[in-house]
Amino acid sequence: MTVYSIIMAVTFLIAGSGLFYAANKMARGQLPMNSWVGLRTPKLMASDEAWIQGHKAASGYLKFSGIALATFGVLYLFIEESAIGLLSIPVIIVLFIGTVLANQKANAAITQ
């Protein structure tokens, strides 16, 4: 275990845990409209009702992304340093795809 693996592990654990926590608040409708956390598309920002409804719909994808980040954060403590960079690429791709799918689902939930 090197300093690099510890830094990457802590970074991914914090990011994954934070995303999962925010997604849980979204699922319960407890995330108020703000400028920092959440999906901020024009449709979602149109009203508080649209914000809550869209985020409830999108929370599943964001929870999955948060779990993926945190899981790989733990994994980084046990793998070789040379593999960390290579494994980070698919995790970031999963995060990106999860965010895109969450945006699409949130916007679709509002237009129904």
pLDDT score at 35:
86
List Cα–Cα distances, 109 to 15, 42, 62, 74, 91, in angstroms: 26, 14, 15, 34, 27
- Express as a percent the part of the chain with pLDDT over 90: 65
pLDDT score at 5:
87
Residue 37, both tokens: 């956390």
Distance CA 80, CA 101 (A): 32
Q: Burial level of 34, CB count in 10 A (0-12/13-18/19+)?
A: exposed
- The whole-model pTM stands at 0.87
Average pLDDT over residues 99-103: 94
Whether residue 112 has pLDDT greater than 70? no
| Digit-coded pLDDT (tens) for 69-89 | 999 999 988 988 888 888 899
Distance CA 38, CA 62 (A): 10
Average pLDDT over residues 43-63: 92
Whether residue 3 has pLDDT greater than 90? no
pLDDT score at 93:
94
Average pLDDT over residues 35-49: 90
